[in-house]
Amino acid sequence: MVNSTLSYFILGGYMDVGNLRYLCFMLTALLYISIVFVNILLIVIICLNRSLHEPMYLLLCSLFVNELYGSTGLFPFLLVQILSDIHTVSVPFCFLQIFSLYTYANIELCNLAVMSYDRYLAICYPLQYNTCMTFNKVFLFIIVVWFYSFVRCIINISLNIQLTLCGNTINSLYCHNYLVVKLACSDTKVNNIYGLFGVVLSIVVPLLPILFSYMKILKVCFSGSKQTRQRAVSTCTPHLVSLLNFSCGAFFEILQTRLDMTGVPEVLRVILSLYVSVLQPLLNPFMYGLQIGMFLDCVGNTDVRAHREVA
């Protein structure tokens, strides 16, 4: 298990910026407040507006809750570290942060996979959509996504706690599973095998329904009417942008941890390491907020026209 004499990790990803730390603190705090505000606002709008009680918006609500969860696992910790002169973190808290950030990433991709399946049903089978995508099925999807992600990461953390560590310096701004495993001087064969297995479970499995859904959607778009293509573009664009942004962030994270980045400027390394944890929770509410706004505006105009016709 983790060396009993090891009580903390040193985070080597921070650079000395002098008094600029206060500016960094204010910018980071502003980002966190913005993320919390916009995600909570959209969750409240979806919950209070009956016209948004549809499968797609319930899945969006799960996505926004996950953005709050992942951001809370990172930003308060960053704010403390920015103002600190000694960048250390206790071993238990480090593993707790790893659990939080890894479950966030896992839930994010799985949620996007379920959303792609929802869009596939809405575009390819519009008449059977309400029958195929019931509220019970949506809630079941959400529960499975969150439960599966938590269980997978609990197993991962349980394996890592058993390691004997011969170092305590993590070259990152926050705790990272792969970098902790690299500090081990005991046998990591089981961890590596489960790590590869986890990649399949966390990445390949969610990507299969995404690829399947968009292949079917493209087939319908090419053979369907102009109205069908316009509907597909309007409903799928935010999802595709979110998926692309998350994939880029995950790719940057792999580059940051797996490759030697000593030749890369420190500022760029910081941006790459925080990309997915900062931009994703900001981008999703912005894109889907516009979509929700347009939907509510359309519903409002329809209600006005119906009222005039009755009058």
Averaged over 228-238, what is the pLDDT? 80
Is the pLDDT confidence value at 3 over 70? Answer: no
Q: Which of the residue ranges 217-226, 254-263, 269-278 would you say has the lowest mean pLDDT?
A: 254-263
Report residue 232 as tokens: 């597909």
**Predicted confidence band of residue 302 (pLDDT cuts 50, 70, 90):** low
The pLDDT tens digits for 205-217 are 888 999 999 898 8
Closest CA relative to residue 291, chosen from 57, 36, 43, 47: 57
pLDDT given for residue 145 in this prediction = 94
Averaged over 231-258, what is the pLDDT? 83
Say if residues 220 and 251 touch (Cβ distance below 8 Å). no
Sheet holding 88-90, edge to edge: 88-90, 8-11, 169-170
pLDDT given for residue 5 in this prediction = 61
Identify the structural domains of the chain with CATH numbers, from first to last: 8-302 (1.20.1070.10)
- Residue 37 belongs to what H/E stretch? helix 20-48
Say if residues 91 and 9 touch (Cβ distance below 8 Å). yes
The pLDDT tens digits for 113-162 are 999 999 999 888 888 888 888 889 999 999 999 999 999 899 989 888 88
**Predicted confidence band of residue 301 (pLDDT cuts 50, 70, 90):** low
Report residue 236 as tokens: 């799928």
% of residues, the chain, pLDDT over 70: 92
Rounded Cα distance between 70 and 64, Å, is 10
pLDDT given for residue 72 in this prediction = 93
Report residue 14 as tokens: 């921070």
**Predicted confidence band of residue 309 (pLDDT cuts 50, 70, 90):** very low
**Predicted confidence band of residue 260 (pLDDT cuts 50, 70, 90):** low
Ranges 73-82, 177-186, 290-299, most confident: 73-82
**Does residue 263 or residue 169 have the better pLDDT?**
169
Tell me the sheet residues that pair with 89: 9
Averaged over 21-49, what is the pLDDT? 92
Three-state SS across 19-34?
CHHHHHHHHHHHHHHH
**Predicted confidence band of residue 290 (pLDDT cuts 50, 70, 90):** confident
**Does residue 74 or residue 268 have the better pLDDT?**
74
Closest CA relative to residue 31, chosen from 100, 97, 82: 82
